[in-house]
Structure 1
Amino acid sequence: MDLRGRGASARRQEVDEFDHPAAHAGSVALEGADGSNNGDEGRTVGKGSGDHGDSWGRIVQRLRAEFGEDIYRSWFRGLAFVELSGMTVVLSVPTPFLRMWIRTNYGNRLLALWRAENGGIERIDIRVRGVETVQPGEKPAMPALVRRPKEERPVEAAGARLGAVSAAAESALESAPLDPRFQFGSFAVGVSNKIAHDTALAVAASGAEGSMFNPLFIHGGVGRGKTHLLHAIAWKAAEANPGRRILYMSADQFVFRFVTALRSDSAIGFKEKLRSIDLLLIDDLQFLQGKATHREFGHTMNALIEGCRQVVIVADRPPSELDGFDDRTRSRLGGGLVAGIGNQELPLRRQILEARVTTLAERGQKIELPVDVLDFVARNVASNGRELEGALNRLAAYSCFAGLPITVELAERAIRDLVAAQERPQIRIEDIQRVVAVHYQVSRSDLVSSRRTRAIVVPRQIAMYLAKVLTPRSLPEIGRRFGNRDHTTVLHAVRKIEGLIGRDQSLARDIESLRRRIEDGEG
């Protein structure tokens, strides 16, 4: 069963059996504050009693046995049986986030377990405790904050607790889903990432007073484990301090939620709730766009740090190279600890591959990978951990589906494109902007500014064209890197330069020269 966090797509996916997003108040979770059930596990605690409660108790035991204690505690501990209404089983959970997660990832399995107990069961209805039910045909009321009396609150799992930072009306502050695979125990540590790993672990284990590394800023290239560390911090912090209020989101989500709050005239409330977080985790800060969001992020970070709340930020570059942030914010970002994750060295790449082989074996996909094949892959796929895993997945597919023995010759054929990609230097949009700016004697900030003089517009369009030709970035992403411009602006620039190249030989020579310099790593 897929346990990965699914982000926005998970919220859109709906299991057919669950088409009544009703809610119900008054149910009580099965377990006590210490994680035990005080002898009541399996008892019905809502309207249904007797045989149905016994059925629920057996299902709980099946969940524990099937998924293991860790997953049970993470996702099922806050789930309670309410009643059997006709042929519909009604369950309840403490938060909208947990309801969404269980419906998406475990809905079909829960239905199958109930049908094993009672073949007439037709559907599962999961409700959020404390939210009023909306009858069919009624216009839903404006959502309100769910506040249950303390004595009725179950102890929530780590993933659920992250979502419980805010409930229905405060969904703007709901944490993004966490991947259960991304924990400290599964993070491969080497020379290139040891500082980042050790400081992340120290931050996660710190108490309410926070850590000495505040903010913690982790930066590095694609596929080097930055997001893995963010997720691991959230899991570890929730385990070490169950009452800690934790919020994890990407920079894009921060922008979306802030703009949504502005449009709904709830920006003040949004800011107040955001600044009440104990641990704020932001991914891909380089994608934070807009002066207003930059300013609000800076104010929020200052407020949290001054209140001894922990902030952890991840980006693909150090604070000094972030575009759009003022000097005060850059200074604050670099004022805690800046930990870089460098290129993964050969022993670390080998360790990642061995860990992946073990994981595949645990999932029933055991493959025989000779030592010389492991060495070949580790030596020749050196860009990042994701491509290492991708290379190994290809070899696993050849082994499992084609029934071929894994040899070095087979590995050479299977990952030929990855090896070729290693031989070409990766080109960043920032590198293109830098070379073009030097060539046309303008500043890099001019290229991303709103200035529209010809001396700026033409170099900007050339840089956009080269970004489209020399990088795999999409038009919207290129637009974001050039002052948050629309993708149609980038497309216009690309087409215009393509047309000029065919008519202006001098410009064509300039662009070819720029292209060679960029590919050679100059600038």
Structure 2
Amino acid sequence: MGKDGQPLGSNELFQRVRARLKAAVGEDVFNSWFARLELEEIVDDLAHLSVPTRFLSSWVQSNYAEKILEAFRAEAAGLARLHFTVRVNGQARPRLHQAEAATETVETEVPAIPVTPRTVREPVAAAPAPRGDALSGSALDPKMTFDSFVVGSANEMALQVAKQVAHAAANNTVSFNPIYIHSSVGLGKSHLLNAIAWAAGAAEPGRNIVYLTADHFMYHFITAVQRQSALGFKEWLRRVDLLLIDDMQFLQGKSATEFGHTLGTLLTGAKQVVVAGDAPPRDLEMLDERVRSRLSGGLVVPINSFDLDLRRAIVTRRAEQAVSRFSDAHFAPAVLDYVARVVVSHGRDLDGAVNRLLAANQLTKEPITVALAERTLADLVRQRDARRVRIEDILRIVSRHYKVPRNDLLSSRRSRDVVRPRQIAMYLAKALTSRSLPEIGRRFGGRDHTTVLHSVRKVEQMIKDDGELAQEIELLKRMLEE
């Protein structure tokens, strides 16, 4: 019964409870900790809930049990107790009998009681990683597998290394450790890390495989500190068999320090670590020198810019996939050649180019020709041609031109000989790269986006007022675009 005395089905009741929880904790926290919480059944005054991992069960009980019970009571006054179990092996859970409830219930008055895993059903959208306690990992993309990865001379070594890691997981061995893959944006780093996770999980379902973006790592570490549960989060990370960290360049502050401790622990225990970033380890200024040294001491694998042959192969593969979904679409060889020749930035732009042409064809029924490609992709070509500079390149050029140490550009120093070059570097990052203001701020020592915006506007005004400075910045632009 609901509070109004009317019958209320379990599904409807739980949807209302979820809505109350989302309103109480906010969408980000809800998605992190409650999205995979399921109501199994209600027995008298007891609500039986299940989660995919022991880590999540312990976390939710320790931090949110009272809030969950409060939400249940708001919808069904008779509910007084919560019972948590862990879904295991995807098998059907036997019904919770009254006798079991008397011995296994977790009372919310107790801060945290260990949960005994029970065999329950696993929902379709359960795990973001193939197996293991990876609930707090980032979601994997099912399209990013080894089968869908297009190989060429620029990425062949990275692909072979990634396959070796996945194969080693099946034999419970570690070959190269750690492995660090780096390239500029959109060249396949995330694809390879996702592919490793899928392949390793399929080869050895019992292994604990965790894929995390740097932003996700920071979010959960900060949340754990705020909830005074950092120890549990650290222990969970150190129990993984294969740790995959993406977008390493965005790791900042105490989260970077914690990653360093975790890396050392995993390597000492011979656990496999694979990291991806958009710069070599030596250029990751936000990391401690010892961490950069450990990453450099492993296997560092670059992915180079795509040559024409690889771009043509990618466009051809994407066109074949498009035609398999829309049989009336046709990509002539001349169109594929044109796209591969003019879209020279990275793989995502190649994917986007094919999608644009397909959309134009399906919406207007105009054949996919070179003329259509010229009209449809004109802005993409212009924008991307002007934005192939990396922030690492800007830091290097500005540091050398103004004779300011690279670390000073990222520091909090406020002397004039450092502030102006730093502002110019931020301006160039905004003008010549596709990075957002928050991303640029993170790359410049963890600064706020408003600081970046102030620097950009300051330099724009100086360019208007000082013709000599305007010429100097134009020279820097030419140096960066060569």
TM-score, normalising length: structure 2: 0.75
Partner of 2:4: none
Partner of 2:115: 147
8 Å CA contact 2:129–2:198 kept in 1: the answer is: no
8 Å CA contact 1:436–1:514 kept in 2: the answer is: no
For residue 339 of structure 1, give the secondary structure of its aligned residue in structure 2: strand
CA distance in 2, matches of 1:358, 1:511: 48
Q: Does 1:304 align with 2:266?
A: yes
CA distance in 1, matches of 2:357, 2:13: 38
Partner of 1:53: none
8 Å CA contact 1:162–1:245 kept in 2: the answer is: no
Query: Aligned AA for 2:341?
Result: R
How far is the alpha carbon of 1:192 from its aligned partner? 1.1
How far is the alpha carbon of 1:518 from its aligned partner? 2.5
Aligned pair partner of 1:269 in 232, 251, 258: 232
Bigger CA drift: 373-382 or 194-203? 373-382
Bigger CA drift: 375-384 or 244-253? 375-384
Cα 1:415–1:162 change in 2 (3 A) is closer
For residue 312 of structure 1, give the secondary structure of its aligned residue in structure 2: strand
Partner of 1:257: 220
Partner of 2:174: 211
CA distance in 2, matches of 1:349, 1:314: 22
CA distance in 2, matches of 1:422, 1:313: 26
User: Identity, % of aligned pairs?
Assistant: 46
For residue 287 of structure 2, give the secondary structure of its aligned residue in structure 1: coil
Q: Does 1:95 align with 2:91?
A: no
Alignment RMSD (CA, Å): 3.6
Bigger CA drift: 351-360 or 237-246? 351-360
Q: Does 1:19 align with 2:30?
A: no
Bigger CA drift: 512-521 or 388-397? 512-521
CA distance in 2, matches of 1:352, 1:17: 48
Query: Aligned AA for 1:483?
Result: G
Q: Does 1:246 align with 2:209?
A: yes
Structure 1 consecutive aligned stretches of length 4 or more whose deviation exceeds 4 Å: 15-18, 78-85, 90-94, 131-134, 138-146, 153-159, 163-167
8 Å CA contact 1:164–1:174 kept in 2: the answer is: no
TM-score, normalising length: structure 1: 0.70
8 Å CA contact 2:329–2:358 kept in 1: the answer is: yes
8 Å CA contact 1:163–1:174 kept in 2: the answer is: no
Aligned pair partner of 1:448 in 410, 413, 419: 410
Query: Aligned AA for 1:19?
Result: Q
How far is the alpha carbon of 1:418 from its aligned partner? 2.9
Query: Aligned AA for 2:315?
Result: L
Partner of 2:255: 293
Partner of 1:160: 127
Structure 2 unmatched runs, 5+: 1-10, 19-35, 57-67, 83-107
* CA deviation string 1:481-510 (max 9, x = no partner): 21111122222223333344444x3xx412
Partner of 1:414: 376
For residue 182 of structure 2, give the secondary structure of its aligned residue in structure 1: strand
How far is the alpha carbon of 1:404 from its aligned partner? 0.9
Partner of 2:474: 515
CA distance in 1, matches of 2:13, 2:364: 37
Cα 1:522–1:81 change in 2 (3 A) is closer
Structure 1 unmatched runs, 5+: 1-14, 23-77, 100-130, 168-172
Query: Aligned AA for 2:426?
Result: M
CA distance in 1, matches of 2:322, 2:114: 41
For residue 313 of structure 1, give the secondary structure of its aligned residue in structure 2: strand
CA distance in 2, matches of 1:317, 1:16: 49
Instruction: Map residues 46-65 of structure 1 onto 2, 5 A cutoff.
Output: none
Partner of 1:237: 200
Partner of 1:54: none
* CA deviation string 1:27-54 (max 9, x = no partner): xxxxxxxxxxxxxxxxxxxxxxxxxxxx
8 Å CA contact 2:224–2:230 kept in 1: the answer is: yes
Cα 1:354–1:467 change in 2 (3 A) is closer
Query: Aligned AA for 1:227?
Result: S
CA distance in 1, matches of 2:148, 2:375: 29
How far is the alpha carbon of 1:250 from its aligned partner? 0.6
